[in-house]
Amino acid sequence: MRVKTITTEISNNNTIINSFLLAAVVALAAYYVIGANGLASDSYKIKLMKEKLTQINEERSLLLSQKAGLEESLYALEFAKASNMVEAKNISYIFENKNVALRR
């Protein structure tokens, strides 16, 4: 009878250990899945932010080039006014066709 009790106790201890190991494996697997999901989510957010930054930089470059064009026009207008220049109207060109040199 004593042998049966010892084997029953060992069997109960094995069941407890196996249950604990199974719970530990499940907990570690859940931790891994949650961590991997968080990492993938962060990578996706970084990718979206980089794309948005690229788009903003392109818009900034376009706006800077437009600003430079407007400033050049403003400087030319100020120079013309300072030099007492006037706008030419009703201009007629001798050669209206630009391909005159190509004709035979």
DSSP H helix total and E strand total for the chain: 1, 0
Work out how many domains the chain is built from and give that number.
Answer: 1
Cα(50)–Cα(48) distance, integer angstroms? 5
Look at residue 91 and tell me if it is in a domain: no
Per DSSP, 1 falls in state -
Length of the chain: 104
pLDDT tens for 3-19 read 556 666 667 778 889 89
Look at residue 81 and tell me if it is in a domain: yes
Range of the domain at 42: 2-85
Task: State both tokens at 102.
Answer: 């190509």
Look at residue 66 and tell me if it is in a domain: yes
Cα(61)–Cα(74) distance, integer angstroms? 20
Residue in the block written with tokens 């990492």:
39
Task: State both tokens at 47.
Answer: 């990718």
pTM for the full model?
Answer: 0.50
Q: Which residues, 6+ apart, have CB-to-CB distance to 2 below 8 Å?
A: none
Per-residue pLDDT of the chain (104 residues; tens, 9 = 90+): 555 566 666 677 788 898 999 999 999 999 999 999 999 999 999 999 999 999 999 999 999 999 998 889 888 888 888 888 887 787 766 666 666 555 54
Task: State both tokens at 90.
Answer: 């009703």
Look at residue 38 and tell me if it is in a domain: yes
